[in-house]
Each structure stands twice: as C-alpha cells, then as structure tokens.
Structure 1
Amino acid sequence: MSRGVAAEGGRWRPLGQQLFPRPRLTQILDSMPSVTVIRGPRGSGKSAVVEAWRESGRLPADQVVIIAPPHNRGQRQGYWAAAEESLARSTSPTVIVLDLPERLDDTALEERVVDLLDQPGRRISVIILTRLSFAFPTLSRPPGGYQVITPNQLQFTAEETGLWLRTFGHRLSTRDIDTVCELTGGHAALTAVAASVARLFAEDLSIGPKLFASTLTRAIDDYVRDASARDPELADFDLARLSIAHELDNSSAPIVGGDLDLPQLEWCGIATRGLGPGGDSYRIPDGVRDSLLRMACQDTPEVVRSTSATLCTVQLTRRQPLRALDYARLSEDWTRVAEIIESHWLTLMAVPQQSTRDALLALPPQIVDRNPLLGAWRSLSVQAARTRPTTAEHEFHESGPAQPGSLERELAPETLRSMQFRMSGRFRDAAALSARLSTLADREAAEHPPARDGLPFLHLQWGINHLLHGNFDECADAFLKAVSGTLAEGFDFVRRDASGKLALLYAVHGDPTRAGEWVSTSEQFDLPPDGMSSITALGQLTARALTALDRMDLDSAREALDAIGTVSDQEELWSFASYARSQYALMTGNAESGLSELWHEKSVYRRWLTSDALATQLLAAAEADLLCALGRGSEARTIASTPGTFAGLTTVRARIELLTGNPQGALGECTQLPSNQNRGLRAPIEIALIAAAAYTELGDTAAAEKNVRHARTLSSRTGVVRPFAMMSSRSAASSAHLREAPTDLPPATRPVFPDAIDHVDLTTREVAVLRELETGAKNIEIATRLFVSVNTVKSQSQSLYRKLGARSRVEAVTTARHLGLL
C-alpha cells in the first residue's frame, strides 16, 4: 500500500494529503504576537498548521506571505529580498512566514527578523517554522509579544485524530483511534497516512480491527521507507540502525551510527533535541522510530540483537536500568531481562513504565516460574492488561497482629496493587488501600524495629496515591516518613523525591515558606543515579514556579517552568505542572494562549481526569480563572461547578459572583472555603480580598476593612502577594480608600481580570428548552417531551432569545455553545 511521498523542501508529506483544520493550534496563531516560532522535525505538520490557518480566513490570503524554505545558504540574499518584496506588496496587518530560515546559516538572522518587524505605522507579525529546538533566543521578548508552538503541541491528540479519520466516513471505535495514536505517535504525516487507510476502509469494519491495524502498520512502514529513500537530505544516514537507540547521545551514537554528527540529526529534521542525563540527546519521533525499528528487525535481526545487547551494557554501566531493560528485551536475552528486574526492582517499581510491564509479559514461563517476585509482578501486569482491577479483587484482611516478616509478604505486593489502582485512574481506591497499608506498617515497625530498608520507598508510593487523590494530611505524613526512614545505600533519591513532592504539596496549597524549606531539603540529598532525575525534579521545579508566582517573582517562575519543559504523558504529576503554567499565563496576561495549552493538555492526559482525581479539580480551577480573565463568565461558571474540596474552586466561584455583579453571592461562596484548607495562605487571602470588594460594593466599609486587614496580615506572614495583584481594576479602586489597603506591592503590568464578565443566567426550564432546541425539535415535540404546553415552549424560547441576544434558533444555539451553556 505504498502511497508515494513528496520531498519538496526536505519535507515528508503523503501525496494528496489534505489540510485538516486544528482549532487548538489556529487559536494560538489567531493571537498574532510579533513573533511566533513553530518548532518540530520533518513531517510534524508545521507548514500544514500555517496553511490551514491561512485558509480559515482569519486574514485575507494576500496578507499571509509564506517564504519557501531555501535549499542552501547561497540563497540568503534572495530569501530576504523575497520577504521584503512581499511585505511591500501587501497591506497591513501582514504575517510573514519564514520557512526553515536556519538553512541560510545567517548569523544576522535575528537582526533581519527585527528589521522586518520594524515597519512604522504597520502591524507586522513573523511566524518562523524551524526544526531547531533552541533557536532564536534574542527574539523571545519583542515589544509585540512572543510565543512558541512546540513539537509536543504539534502532535495530533486522540480527539483530533478521531475527527480527521471520521471525515472519511470510517466509524472508528475508541479502541481503533487508540491504535492509530499508538502507531503514529501523533506524528502529523503518519496521521495523514492513517486518514488514507481509513478512507479505503470507509464504513466496512466487518473485516475486523486487527486487519485495520495491520494494514495501517504496513502503510506507515511503506511511507517511511519511501520517504527516507527518496529524500537526498537523508542519504548519509542509516536510519534503521539509528532507530535501535531510544535516544541518541554521546554514548549511544558511536554504537549505532559510527562517526555521527548529532546536531545534524536535528538540522535535517530527523530528531528533536532535548536534555538527557549525559547532556544533549536526540530522539526520533516515536511513530517514525517504531516503523524504522520494525524494518530493522525484519531486515537485519542479528544486527538489532547485537547492537541492543551492547546498548544494554552501556546503560547498566550508566546505572540506567529502565533503558537497559528496554534494550535487553530488544536483544531477546531473557535471562538478562530477569536479572535486571530482580536487581533493580525498587527503581522499576518507583517509575512504573509500560516497557517494564511488556518485559514481564514477554518473559518465558520457565524463567518466571523460578522467581516468586517475577511471578507476582507478572500476574499483576497480566491483570492490568486485561481489565481494570476491582476493589473486591484486591481486598486483604487483617486477622490479627502482624507476624514477623509480614511486611515483606503483604506490604510490597499490596503496594503494587495500589499502584495499579493509581495507574488505572482509581485514585480513591489507591488512597484507601494506602491508608490501610500505612497503619499496618506503623504497627509492624513498632513491634519489630528497626524499619526495613524498603519501607521509605513504600511510604513514597502511598504518599503519591494520597497526593493524586487530594488527601493533604495523609500525603504529608507519608512523605515525611519516606524522608526520615532508613534506606539502603544508593537510594537517597527516595528522600529527594519525597522532599520535592512535599514542597509541591505546600506550594499548591499556598504556603511558599514551607514549600521553600522542602525544596532546600530536597537539594541536600544525592541526585538519582539511574536516569530518574527528570521525574524526581518535576515536583521540586513545579513548587519553585508556584512559590515564585505567589511572591510575584515572574522571572523566577518562568525559569522554573522552562526547566520543566515538555512533560511525558506517563508523568503522574503532569497536572501540577499544567496548573503552574496556567497560573503563569494568567498572571502575565496570556490567558488566551494559556487556555489553549490547557485544553490541549487535558485532551492528551484525559485518562487521568477521573472524578476522584485532584487533577480534575486543579485544572477546573485553572480553566475557570482563565475564562474569567477572558470575560467568559458563563463558561467559567460551568467549569467552576466541578465538585471537590480544592480551595481554588471556592475562590474562583466567589470571584465569578463578584465579577458578574452579585456581591451577596460572592460573600456566600466565601463562607464555603473548606476549613482544612486554612493551612495554606493563598486561598484565605484571596477569599478575604474578594469579601472586602463585595462588602465595599454593599457599602459595609467596616467589614471591608476587616477583611483587607486579615489579608494583609496573612500576606506579611509568608510574602504571598499574588492575590493582591489579581484584583480587578474596579475592586482595587473601590477599596483604595481603605486604611488597610496595601501600598508596597509590586505593580501589575495589566489587570488580570476585567471589571465585569459576560454571563447568562438561565432557569432550569430554559436550559431544558435550549437543549431541545439544539436537537432541532419542533415546538410541539419539545412540549411533549417536557410535559408543558406549546405556548410555554414559545414563551421560554423568546426569553432565551432575549437573554442570548439572538433572533433565531440557530443563533441562540450558536451563542449558547460559545458561552459554554451547551
């Protein structure tokens, strides 16, 4: 099923590939700052995003000028001349798209971009399409704004993939879409191949999803083979051999590529550059690498096995058992696979990976049967692969006092089960089981001291279970025990990780003093020796960002967020990093792009957003705040109705009432702050300031002064000043005459929230009628369904039209969708 490829400009693009509109990305481009940089390897869809945006009609076609990629540095003068000529012919506003300008090797490139922007009396925006990860550093702060679309953002989400494939009439199930996402890795060009395969299948699924998956696999392999063979830019690379290495760095490159120029991999668009444990590392996009590796295993299996065995040895020398296990499995050395699991079980359990489970499932029965640990772990992996565990299947009963040795017999396997609950999104069950295990461990430690070497690691896992469910006290207790327990030599990273997560816990709840203390504590412990530094660092870096935001140190917050970089979809703390990024976007006046990024991340990590996950509450509060900043009150109110005890939800609900002109309602929400959240300071300060503004609007100056004084006292205790900077201009002005109003706070560059936000209050009956209107039902049909008269339906419809400012059903439904009412 080879479809052929075009390699124009050094790109991989299936012939006949259609542009697919991606609102998530076009909304980012709609903001039109001075500079937008779109980064990604070949085939990642950089130019397709811009072309789809241009076709969306945001600007007239002649005002979006795309300068084709140069073939070599000799075209330098012609490239810039083309940009200037196009600019002279077009009208304002104008967008200049510079495609792969790094090929010019122009040391004055950034100065030339600044010259393009410097057009008196005209609004110019520049979009740069590049393969380089760390290019154009001096363009990051132009007067008109700067934004970056990363390779991760360019990847197709499951939702986008499903929408595109369904445009061809293929009724794909969720499982089919997941299969496509797994095989393509979200890579734009490979997703286009999947769209072509879906079009061939049309609506005929009678031949089965397995044939669809195998056909898609062959199509992807044919496409990648043809693309790599026909592009002269790739002629010097043995891509199949390079694909054996998961990441290419100074240790793996000589093994798979000989005298390999690593930066050239990024320049040619083969791989993206990142920071690995040994310095710069380069990674081929997942879907492309998987395809190349399949071809290598088929064409040169002995080379794959021998090369993988060598890479495994290197990774073990570097004390990176996770990667070593991958290579051992690829080399099909099952004895070595078992040895790695047995020797590094603590590390492998600390960072649950699908590759570890795959290795356990691939082990021959004769090896598993000889080792009880492997047998138990494999059984759990098989169970997790087949179905989600149920509570009943994993109950264990305490029949009396624990006996010596019961710690090893019960706690470790039960902790594995709690981790399986956690990985399947059942955070309440994971936390409940962790609480019981902690009680048993405390009793065991008291009756049979000293505590075992592995116990701090178990406490760390129980703490993570509580953290992801939102149990503050139990989480803090577990992490404290992990920090203070006795550990085997070489596992100091457990203390470092627990300290960083304690810092995160306090930072999320608005206590920067304690958060800072635990960040400092975590830095006293050794770095993990096994490639886990990025995982143990996430909690600490997110805590740094949130702490800096609370103190309005925006530069430090930006540094911490930059250090976090792209978060893997396997990272369980992703929602905390997303929350911090959303708060930074809110405080820097970038609510639109912050909301777009948040929606993208929610779609990528949607499997973690269960009803009992703290992540659901965190991101609901962040999303509602961003919507408030954009004046979209109805949508914000809908999102803020998410149930939960996270204090951020209470504050945003109170803020919505205040900004929609309901000070009495705001005061009512202020009384709902959960009492157990008073250990943090940010939420009580925000609530006090919202209450002060509400009392001021109601004319109760004494109560307003009391609340400002309370907020001021809490702020001076730890330096939390962000809530003051979040006051709307009207709230700040109305309370400026108060004697206790602060005067020494850092000035806000712009108001975070508007003075008022749009909202539409509908009655329950109006909402019911609106939902029926959305279905296209006639009045008599609506009346029958709602058990009311036709006149009542007409009256409710007229009320809806008036509130929504609509003149027809279609307009009412469209407006309601825009406001988040549907």
Structure 2
Amino acid sequence: MLGREGDSIVIVDGGDHSAITTSLPRQALFAKLDRRTPLTIVRAPRGYGKSDLLTSWRDASDTSDHDLVWVPPPQRSSSAAEYLNTILHQCTKSGIVAPGVSGDPFADLVEAFSAATNPVLLVLIRPDLISNPNLEEQLVELVTRCHQLDIVVTLSGLSLFAEPYFLEIDHELIRAEDLLFSSVDTANLLTLSAANPFPGDAHKITTMTGGLPALVRSAIKVVKALPAQNDREQLLERNLQIAIDDYTRRAILDNTDIADHRDFLVSCSTARTIDVSTAAHLFTPREPHDRIRERLLALESAGILSRTETGTDGTWELPSAVRLSLMATQPQLGLDSTRQLSSLAHFRLDSGHHASALKYATEGCDWDLAISIIENHWIAMLSESFDTVRRSLQQIPAAAAKKSSVALAGRDLFTMHPGENPKPITSLPRSAEELRVIGASRDARDVLNVGCVHSIMLRVAGNYGPAAETTRRLAQISRRALEINPDDVSPQLPVMRVQWGITFQLSGQFAESTTEMRMAYWGGESQGIDFIARNAAGGVAMNWAIVGEPTLSEGWSRLERKHPNTFGWLHSMVRTPGLIARALTALCTLDLDDAHEAVAALGEPNATEELWAFVLYTHCQYALACREEATAIALLRTAISDNPTKLKPGSFALPLLRSTKIDLALALGDGNLAMALSSDITEPAANPWTLVSVARLYQRAGQNESAIALCHQFDWAAQSYPRPQMEALLIQAVAHSRGDEPRRAAEAWSNACSIADQTGNLRSFSTISLRDVEHLESLAGTGSSALARFLKLAPGETFPNELNLVTLTERERQVLDLIASNASVTEMAHALFISVNTVKTQVRTLYRKLEVHNRREALARARELRLL
C-alpha cells in the first residue's frame, strides 16, 4: 500500500510521461517503493520510465486509504513560492484544504497536511527544475512535521538530494541502473502488449536498447509491425535501430533546452563515461574546464546525462544505445568516429587507464594499438579488468593477432572450448643450457608470456602433465632472465608464478607449487599487488594444509590475512585456497567449530572453480570428522558425475577423490564397496593418498601383511607428505601389533608420534581405534605432546572397528550369476544339479548376506559391491 503511518518521502527523478498502454509489474521496484521509509529516491535521466513506474505502482496498489495529489513539472522560470502555491492549488483540488490562509504557501501546506484526516500521497514531478537551494530543506521539513504525508518526488541530476544518506531521515534510493529492463522484463512487456514475439526477440531488444525503458517500449511497435518472413531477424535489427535513432533525434538532438550543447554532446558521445578532462580532449574548439563542467551540468539538468557519482570531479554517462546513435551522427560535424575512438584510447593510455584505453582501441578496431596495450599491460589489467582483456582478445582478428605471439596465444586461450586441446606452439627446449640461453635473450619476456598462456591452455584442457612440464621450463627461463634483465621481466612474474603454482597444485606437485607461490607472494608484496600476495599466501597455506603441516599452514594464513580481500571475478579465485587451508588446518587440530565456519564460507564445489577437487575433498574431510559420511558420498557422486573431464590422468584430483571415496566407504563400514573402489586403482602406491586408503582397507580387512608391504612401496624420504606418512605409520603399527611384532609396532608408532609433534597434526590419531592408541603408546612410551592434546580433546574414531565385508562362496556366486541371467528356480536347479528346495535355501542365504529381499534388490546390491 502507498499510504502508511509515519513520515515518508519517495523521490523519483525525471518527468517523462510517455504514454503507455500496458502497466508492467516490476515487483522488485514496487517492493522498494512500498517500504516504510521516510525517503525513497529514484534517480534517472530522460527515458528511464520514472513516471511510468509510479503510474504502474499506483495502479497496482490499494489507494483506498489515502488521498493522491499529483503535481506536474514546474516551468524553469518559476520561483519556489510559485511552485509551493501550485502544490497548494493541487491539494485544494483534491479536497485537502488548510484551516486558514496565511499568505505563506509553506505554512499553509503544513496546516493542510497536518489537518488531513486521511494519509496523503503527494507526487511532485521534477521539483529540481526550480533553482532554489532551500527547496530540499523545505520538503524535508514538510514531511517531518506532517505525519500523515508521503511525498513522491521525481528528479534528474543531483541538484536536489545529492547526498540523501546524510539526511536525518531513513531513505530508499532507486538509481538509473535499477530502472533498466532485463530480458525477462522485456519478454513480459512483449507478452502483455500482445506483440506476438518470436523466440530471441526479447534478448535482441534488450541487448540493442541496453534495457532503456523508453527504447524498449518503442520496440513494441517495431515487433508488432514485423511480418513473419525469413529475414525477420535482420528486419527486426534494422527497424529497431531506426527506432533508436528516431528517439535520439526527437528526445535529444531536437531538444531546444540543449541547443547550445548539441555539438558538444555529439563530440563527447565517443566516451562511455565522460569527465571534464575527457570532454575537453574530445570537444573542439577548446574551452576552459569551468565551461566544460557547466555544459555537463546543463546536460545533466536536462535529463540527458546521468551522474555516476564516481571520482572527485564527477563522471557522467549516456545510455549505451543512445551513445552509439549519437556517434553515428558525428560525420555531420566532420568527425570520424574511428579516429575519435583511437584518439581517446591514446588519451586514456597516457593517463594510465590501460583497461579503458583497450576498450576504446578495440571498439575503434585499432588493432595495432589494442595489441600493444595487451603486450605491455596485460599483467596490470588482470587484477580488475580480466573481462576487458578477454573480450578484446576474442575480438582481435586472427590476421592482426598473428603480428604478436602474446596476442595470438591469448586469443587462442580465450576462444578455445573447455576440454579442447590447445593449438600447438613452438615447443620449449628440454636442456637446462638451452633454457638459460632463452632466458638471457631479448625474447625472454615474450617467451614467458606465450609460454605462460600455453601452460594455462594445457591445464584448462586437462593436460596436467604437459602443463606442469612446460611450467618447469618457464621457471628455469625466468630465473635466468631475472639475472640478465630483471627490469624487463620482474613486473609480470608475480602473476605468472601464481599461475605456475596453480598448475603444480593441480598436478599434485606441492613442493614445486609452494616454491612458485612463495616467490609470487614476495613479488606481489614488493610491488604492492595485494590480490597476488593474498592469492599466493593462500596457495602456500593450502599446500601445507593438504600435505599435513598445520603449523606452517597457519603461518601463511596469517600472511594472507594481512592483505585485503578482492571482489568481482577475482573474489572466488583469491579466497578459495585460503579457505581450504583454514578448513583443513582446523580439522588437523580438531577445531571443528572453525572448520565449520571455513567450510560454510567455502560453499559448495563449483565446476567453474579450478580448485574444485580440493573444495570437494575439504567438504568430504569435514563430513568424515563430523560422522556425516553418507551425505559426503552423495555430494561426491553428484560432483564427480557432473565433472568427469576434471578427473583425467595426470591430475591430482583423480587419486585424491578415489582415496576419499574409499575412506568414506570404510567410515560407513562398507567393506565391499571400499574393496570394489580399490580394485579400480592399478597402482595405489603411485600416490601417497591412494596408498594410505588402500593400505588402511587391507589392514581393516585383516590383510595385515599386504597393508605393511604396500606402505613400504613409497619413498617417504624423497618427498615430504607428513599426514599420509603418519597415517601409513599408524597402519603399520596396528598391523605389526596384530601380527605379534611389538618391537616393530612400537617403532612405527614412535615415528608417527614424532611427525605429530613436529607438525601439530592431531586428527590422524583418530584414524585408528582408541584401544589401539592406548596399546601402542603403552608399548612405546613416547610421551608425545601431540598425543596428549589429542587424548584431552577425545574425538571419536573416524573408522568403525568392524568392517562389513561380504564374501560369497563359489556356490553363492553361481546362484548370483543365474539370478542375473533371469533363470527361474527350476532352471537354476537343473543348472546346478540340485533340488528346487536346495536352490531356495541357497537363494535365501544369499539374500541375507546381501541384506536384500528380492531379485531386483539383490542384483542392484551385487553390482554396487562389484560382485557381478
């Protein structure tokens, strides 16, 4: 409802009363207008449908409990007193009369609204046309003193309520961007207007008009007039452009209020955002900056430009479709649009605005300039302008891109499809000497740029092994280049090293990843690139957390937190490794509350996230610690089925998640499923995570000698994997204990406790039973401080003492095979040379083992346990 108790102003900019035949419900905006706030501001120039929004809101609302007073826009020559008298006159026409007439219109309005018996909705269209600095204060005082009053005001520009957040009354602000139509809004309007649109019409209209309400409504007539013919799409585009140009001419170029600024506006339309210095560069003859600013403010007041409220000097912009239409008229002033764009690109580049310069160079098809900007500044632009770089590279023609190896490699990267093998480039040499020669050459920077892009392409395509090998060679080149020509390569190395670190992470090379990430951190720190420093520190922390070094991980997490978080496309990439590190470190130290917070912040595994497998692994480890294995298995199955291409040979994700599935099955006590999963791993000892999971399975299944033998198949001294190594030692300790070898059991236990004391990893103790923990400590008497902390926290055991392992006799396997062949009981009896009753008995025995009740369940369970 529009009327409500208490003071309330609703301010809506502009006074365009475009005739509409359809009221489009815009519930999100209606909800803002319906809020019980003293002040609601909707600020936009011409064409944004401000009055249409109010009309639709009024028509969709229950107006029975308030009186409506609608005041049209005043003449620019009106005084404040004349305007207040106009409001008073409109109130009298609506039956709202002051008890007395004092001759002071403001005092009479206060009396009239104070005496009103019903709530009053006062709609004021464009009061900012009145040039009076006291008007804002009077409106605020009016609504403050009159508790029955709601005021709705439409504005263009910032001459009134420029900073509503400084008012002492609550407010709601609706900006120009809020009023733009989405494709869904456009589709709804087409439907409600009975325009009989074709599929894709709404998207085409919204794209071409930029969602500007006035243009979208003009498009309705275009669609209704279109014939159903083969070239309809081209006809729609052509006629829609005519409608846009017609609107631009009528609403802007023919607007007498801006006659003195028409040439200025057309000249400045080259810029997406216009400030004083940009306008001064584009407009000839040259004028003082004060005069330029006066022109911009006049265009804002006329409802042509909207203020973006960024920067100290003010920045304005045109609706995108109107801007392009105005640019099309530049030849009438003797201007060449492409030259204007190129000139503006150089101007922005000279001002240090690389991404903005790249946008204008690309729009103006100045490919040489665009390529030059990318070659020299792509590292700097990645932090906040990744999409600009990507879109420019996609638009650069192949012929132009061939002039630059960097641009060509980048273009290939951003036009390839996920999983597609990248185009080959000249391979890097293998020998260290040849790589050093490249690093010492003048081409080192270009080779690093191209090679880094190519390694990312290999990684994105799932070729993790070749990506890691390419990265190793690039790292050697970079070290030599730093020795010979550090100024040439230093600026780009921090961001490259982060990418190299990610490549090594995804291929499971954590030591190499940590080396690159550490150097990336210190490079980012020294250059003041916070997103690089934070990303790299989080990456190092994640590496240490994965391998089981919580103390070292926490140290790097503290360094990560020194740097501010990022936003936009970088946000997820930068924060994810740090959150993984925090969660896994908290799990290692048995701080489940902190682990819960980190996992919640991490969110569900996202297929677009390169560290997807690590996110999934973190969720599963948290589920294991909280005894929520069934939930984790469901999540794991869904995530893996949705992302099969990420589990390729050479990826660390494949063994990591295979190991995780075995552990989850073991935690559920499902030995058959765990055995079936382990049979898919050809060489479990090739990876420390699969080794530990399979060895644990063997030990729990009573195959102690096999468990011990498997643990010895990995060279633990060659690489540092503290957590897998500690868990392998615990498996050996329990297995030796079961085999009545107390000396070897005590030795393995002591080594495991030593790792726990050095790293701070407590959780691995929970992978064996508490009874085994107490027995082994009684044998060795280590006095481990980590063990003491673990026992004090007294967490539950991760894996049950009993393993449900279904084994079938030869006869039961024969019965199961016959069930799978759909044989009847009689046919089974004939095949097995036994009686029907004996078959029934054996079938019942088989069902009990499988814990099923019928053939269908038996076959499903047997397949799940890999018995078929």
- TM tier, smaller: 0.5 to 0.7
**Is 1:612 aligned to 2:644, yes or no?**
no
Output one character per residue of 1:756-786: Cα deviation in whole Å (capped at 9) or x when no partner: 222245799999998997576999xx9xxxx
- How far 1:293 sits from its partner (Å)? 5.0
Report how far residue 350 of structure 1 moved: 7.5
CA contact (8 A) 2:695 2:707 kept: yes
Mapping of residues 702-717 of structure 1, within 5 Å: 702-717=743-758
Match of 2:557 among 519, 526, 535: 519
What is the match of residue 407 of structure 1?
444
User: What is the CA–CA distance in structure 1 between the aligned matches of 2:458 and 2:855, rounded to whole Å?
Assistant: 46
- Separation in 2, partners of 1:316, 1:672: 63
Name the CA shift for 1:598/1:486 in 2 (closer, same or farther; >3 Å): closer
**Closer/same/farther in 2, CA of residues 539 and 562 from structure 1, 3 Å limit:** same
Q: How far 1:294 sits from its partner (Å)?
A: 5.4
Q: CA deviation at 1:580?
A: 1.4
| Structure-1 separation of matches of 2:753 and 2:675 | 28
In the alignment, the residues of structure 1 paired with residue 504 and residue 812 of structure 2 have an alpha-carbon distance, to the nearest angstrom, of 41
* In structure 1, distance between residues paired with 2:210 and 2:627: 54
Q: Amino acid of the residue matched to residue 254 of structure 1?
A: R
Match of 1:594? 632
- Paired residue for 1:256, among 177, 182, 192? 177
Taking the aligned partners of 1:499 and 1:368, their CA distance within structure 2 comes to 35
Alignment partners' CA distance in 1, 2:570 and 2:546: 23
Q: Which of residues 540, 545, 553 in structure 1 aligns to 2:583?
A: 545
Q: Distance in 2 between matches of 1:345 and 1:253?
A: 36
Q: 2:676 & 2:393 partners in 1: Cα distance?
A: 44
Paired with 1:563 and 1:503, the residues of 2 have a C-alpha distance of 17
2:455·2:467 contact (CA, 8 Å) conserved in 1? yes
Comparing 344-353 with 754-763, greater Cα deviation is found at 344-353
The answer for the alignment partner of 2:721 in structure 1 is: 680
User: Distance in 1 between the 2:571 and 2:639 partners?
Assistant: 23
Aligned residue type for 2:464: F
Aligned to 1:20: none
The letter for the 2-side match of 1:360 is L
2: CA distance, partners of 1:774 / 1:349: 58
Give the deviation of 1:343 after TM superposition: 7.8
Partner of 1:481: 519
Q: 1 CA distance for matches of 2:175 and 2:703? A: 67
Q: Whole-Å Cα distance in 1 between the matches of residues 813 and 491 of structure 2? A: 59
Instruction: Supply the AA of the counterpart residue of 1:613.
Output: S
**Residues 300 and 670 of structure 1: CA distance in aligned 2, closer, same or farther (over 3 Å):** closer
Aligned-partner Cα distance in 2 for 1:469–1:551: 27
Q: Report deviation, 1:355.
A: 8.8
Residues 220-251 of structure 1, C-alpha deviation per residue, up to 9 Å, x if partnerless?
xxxxxxxxxxxxxxxxxxxxxxxxxxxxxx99
Q: Confirm whether residue 420 of structure 1 aligns to residue 457 of structure 2.
A: yes
| Cα distance in 1 between the residues matched to 2:858 and 2:587 | 40
Higher deviation after alignment, 291-300 or 411-420: 291-300
Matched, 1:630 2:668: yes
Quote the Cα distance in structure 1 between the aligned partners of 2:620 and 2:598.
14
| Residues 548 and 557, structure 1, Cα contact 8 Å, conserved in 2 | yes
Q: Secondary structure at the residue paired with 2:490?
A: coil
Distance 2:419 2:735 in 1: 54
Matches of 2:530 and 2:522, distance apart in 1: 11
Contact persistence 1:678–1:684 (CA under 8 A): no
- TM-fit CA distance, 1:755: 0.9
Task: Find the aligned partners of 2:699 and 2:734 in 1 and give their Cα distance.
Answer: 8
Distance in 1 (CA, whole Å) between partners of 2:697 and 2:599 is: 28
| Cα distance change of structure 1 residues 669 and 731 upon mapping to structure 2, 3 Å threshold | farther
Secondary structure at the counterpart of residue 175 of structure 2: helix
User: Residue type of the partner of 2:666?
Assistant: C
Q: In the alignment, is the contact (CA less than 8 A) between 2:180 and 2:211 conserved in 1? A: no
Instruction: Please list, as runs of the form range in 1=range in 2, the aligned pairs for 1:691-706 lying within 5 A after superposition.
Output: 691-706=732-747
1:65-88 alpha-carbon deviations (Å, 9 max, x no partner): xxxxxxx9xxxxxxxxxxxxxxxx
Instruction: Normalising by structure 2, report the TM-score.
Output: 0.52
> Quick check: 1:647–1:674 contact (8 Å CA) kept in 2?
no
Within the candidate set 427, 446, 449, 1:395 is matched to 427
Distance 2:582 2:625 in 1: 16
Distance in 2 (CA, whole Å) between partners of 1:609 and 1:485 is 32
- Rounded to whole Å, the distance in 2 between the matches of 1:667 and 1:509 is 21
Query: Can you list the C-alpha shifts for 1:490-545, whole angstroms capped at 9, x where unaligned?
Result: 53422322221111111100011221222223334455577624321211121111
1:754 is matched with 800
In the alignment, the residues of structure 1 paired with residue 526 and residue 469 of structure 2 have an alpha-carbon distance, to the nearest angstrom, of 28
**Matched residue, 1:661:** 702
Instruction: Provide TM-score, normalisation by structure 1.
Output: 0.55
| Equivalent position amino acid for 1:818 in 2 | E
Per-residue deviation, residues 315-343 of structure 1 (Å, max 9, x unmatched) = 9989xx99x99x979x9787799599678
Matched to 1:420, the amino acid is M
Aligned residue for 2:505, secondary structure, equals helix
- Tell me whether 1:815 sits opposite 2:861 in the alignment: yes
Name the Cα RMSD after superposition.
5.3
* Aligned ranges 1:6-25 → 2 under 5 Å: none
Cα deviation 1:539-588 (Å, max 9, x = unaligned): 11211111111111111111222222245422211211221111111011
Partner of 1:429: 466
Aligned CA distance change for structure 1 residues 633 and 576 (closer, same or farther; 3 Å): same
Q: Please list every run of 5 or more consecutive structure 1 residues that lacks an aligned counterpart in the other structure.
A: 1-41, 43-71, 73-249, 271-289, 783-789
Report the alpha carbon displacement of residue 619 of structure 1 after superposing the two structures with TM.
1.6
Q: Which residue type is aligned with residue 695 of structure 2?
A: A
What are the residue-to-residue correspondences of 1:273-284 with 2, within 5 Å? none
Does the Cα contact within 8 Å between 1:806 and 1:812 map onto a contact in 2? yes
Judging changes above 3 Å, is the alpha-carbon distance between structure 1 residues 427 and 689 closer, same or farther for their aligned structure 2 residues? Answer: same
> Which amino acid in the other structure matches residue 296 of structure 1?
T
Q: Distance in 2 between matches of 1:448 and 1:359?
A: 29
Give the AA of the match of 1:612: G
Equivalent AA in structure 1 for residue 584 of structure 2: L
Residue number in structure 2 paired with 1:51: none
How far did residue 416 of structure 1 move? 0.5
Q: Which moved more, 1:441-450 or 1:762-771?
A: 762-771
Q: Using the aligned pairs only, state the percent identity.
A: 25
2:650 & 2:510 partners in 1: Cα distance? Answer: 14
Partner of 1:723: 764
Q: Note closer, same or farther for the CA distance 1:380–1:259 as it changes in structure 2 (3 Å cut).
A: closer
What letter is aligned with 2:721? G
> Where do 1:252-401 residues align within 5 Å?
254-258=175-179, 296-297=206-207, 345-346=378-379, 357=390, 360-363=393-396, 373-382=406-415, 387-389=420-422, 395-397=427-429, 401=437
- State how far apart, in whole Å, the 2-side matches of 1:719 and 1:410 are: 43
Where does residue 615 of structure 2 map in the other structure? 577
Q: Does the C-alpha gap of structure 1 residues 350 and 710 become closer, same or farther in structure 2, counting only changes over 3 Å?
A: same
Aligned to 2:66: none
Query: Whole-Å Cα distance in 1 between the matches of residues 846 and 470 of structure 2?
Result: 52
Alpha carbons 2:588, 2:762 under 8 Å: kept: yes
Following TM superposition, by how much is the alpha carbon of 1:736 offset from its aligned partner in structure 2, in angstroms?
7.0
- The alpha-carbon distance between structure 1 residues 749 and 458, as it changes in their structure 2 partners (threshold 3 A), is closer
Q: 1:649 aligns with which of 682, 686, 690?
A: 690
Deviations 1:3-31 (A, max 9, x none): xxxxxxxxxxxxxxxxxxxxxxxxxxxxx
CA distance in 2 between partners of 1:407 and 1:414 (Å): 10
Which residue does 1:460 correspond to in 2?
Answer: 498
Q: By how many angstroms is 1:301 displaced?
A: 6.2
Q: How many residues align?
A: 538
Q: 1 CA distance for matches of 2:501 and 2:308?
A: 33
Quick one: structure 1 residues 774 and 655, their matched pair in 2 at CA, closer, same or farther if it must change by over 3 Å?
A: same
* Distance in 1 (alpha carbons) for counterparts of 2:846 and 2:389: 57
Residue deviations 1:410-437, cap 9 Å, x none? 1111110110010011101100111111
The residue identity in structure 1 corresponding to 2:629 is A
Matches of 1:815 and 1:628, distance apart in 2? 17
